[in-house]
Amino acid sequence: MSNWQEIEKQYYMQVVRRQPVTIVKGQGTKVWDDTGKEYLDFTSGWAVNNIGHCHPAVVKAVQDQAATLMQTSNAYYTIPQLELAKVLIDNSCLDRVFFSNSGAEANEGAVKLARKYGKLKLNGANEVITALNSFHGRTLGMIAATGQPHYQEAWAPLAEGFINVEYDDLDALKRATNDNTCAVMLEPLQGEGGVNVPEEGYLKAVRDWCNQKGILLIFDEIQTGLGRLGTLFGYQSFEVEPDVMTLAKGLGGGAPIGAFLAKEHASVLEPGDHGSTFGGNALTCAAAHASSKYIVDNNVSEKAGIAGSYLKQELNTLKSKYSQITDVRGMGMLIGVGFDTDISGQVVAACTAEGLLLNAVRPNTIRFMPPLTLSVEETDQGISKLSNALDKVLQ
């Protein structure tokens, strides 16, 4: 057997810190490495495999579509693209969609749309207000939108037109708004920033402020969309409708696809304004259609809310056993567990050894983003592995 981890060290750009696991197979919540060891995957391909690894509905859609038509171009109509568009629009408050290949690209499209809106309707306003501790992707544009210095500092000069303000602070957002503001872009619940849930009423107040100023509210639902928070889209959990929404991660059932969606009044892009060779291709759209339709038809979002409450309850039980756990936060199947010291890296490494995959989202916080289809039995197994790992790290 090849030593893939040695090959990586020699051949691959050393930009990611990986766990020492070479994953070769996945099914549902489980994955297996090249030695045959089994893991419970509570990262689900980074909040991607919302209905589990290799869901039969997605596998079949991909196999059938691969044998039929993978790619033509957006110069022609294709059926999977339009079937997917229909599922998303018919089940959301948005009216139109454009498909991209990733989350960052979806956000780039949303910001282009907002700048065009500013040009047409707000006297050329072109600034977008985003939040500190946000995460919007890794392109040159989106690192300026992402309010975290370590994603920005090495790549100056940053793209202009983004102002990062404190999250969950309405006054900071109001102070940053000026005649040049065309939009506010927020995650309804910050994922990468450490699983930060806004105070009750914050997003509603932001919505009111955007209405008052006539500026667009963009929700980056790349992580919160497609059932993750216990509702099909995160905005439904907060009862606040955005003018523009972006999706990716959980959209494709494992296939790489993103989307930006807009209400009719904000749909200002015209022929020639935007495009993509691969965006909206038949193959990934077929996968995303199968996955999204499955989520909608089987009430997966609602079930995720219930399964997430159980997971949270069990994590709170662990909190009462381990004084080093400071809090359990999050919604649905996006949960963070905070520690009183910076031990999340050690905890995640110990969990990996126990056969449980988790993410050290902050030095003092681990993140749970399991498949939405997580069973009670899998939850119990995961909790017991985490408990063993904590015993080892904290002994």
Ligand X SMILES: *Cc1c(COP(=O)(O)O)cnc(C)c1O
Residues within the interface to ligand X (CB under 6 A): 102-104, 107, 135-137, 187, 191-192, 220, 222-223, 248-249
Q: What is the 3-state secondary structure (H, E, C) of 112-150?
A: HHHHHHHHHHCCCCCEEEEEECCCCCCCHHHHHHCECHH
* Distance, CA of 188 to CA of 71 (rounded, Å): 33
Catalytic residue among 116, 249, 312, 385: 249
Catalytic residue among 99, 220, 260, 312: 220
Which residue in the block uniquely carries the two structure tokens 């946000």? 134
Our CB check for ligand X shows the closer of 355 and 365 to be 365
Catalytic residue among 99, 135, 162, 219: 135
Q: Least distance from C-beta 77 to ligand X, angstroms?
A: 26
Our CB check for ligand X shows the closer of 164 and 378 to be 164
Q: Least distance from C-beta 101 to ligand X, angstroms?
A: 8
Q: Least distance from C-beta 115 to ligand X, angstroms?
A: 18
The answer to whether residue 249 is catalytic is yes
* Distance, CA of 272 to CA of 85 (rounded, Å): 20
Q: Least distance from C-beta 248 to ligand X, angstroms?
A: 5
Our CB check for ligand X shows the closer of 215 and 248 to be 248
Helical segments of the chain, H only: 4-11, 44-47, 56-66, 79-90, 103-121, 140-145, 149-152, 170-176, 202-213, 234-238, 282-297, 300-321, 344-354, 376-394
Our CB check for ligand X shows the closer of 196 and 379 to be 196
Q: Which residues contact 259 (CB under 8 A, 6 or more apart)?
A: 88, 97, 98, 99, 100, 106, 246, 247, 248, 251
Fill in the amino acid letter for 242: P
The answer to whether residue 260 is catalytic is no
Q: Least distance from C-beta 159 to ligand X, angstroms?
A: 16
Do residues 251 and 100 touch, judged by C-beta distance below 8 A? Answer: no
As given in the structure block, the two tokens for residue 74 are 């957006």
Do residues 194 and 131 touch, judged by C-beta distance below 8 A? Answer: no
Residues labelled catalytic = 135, 220, 249
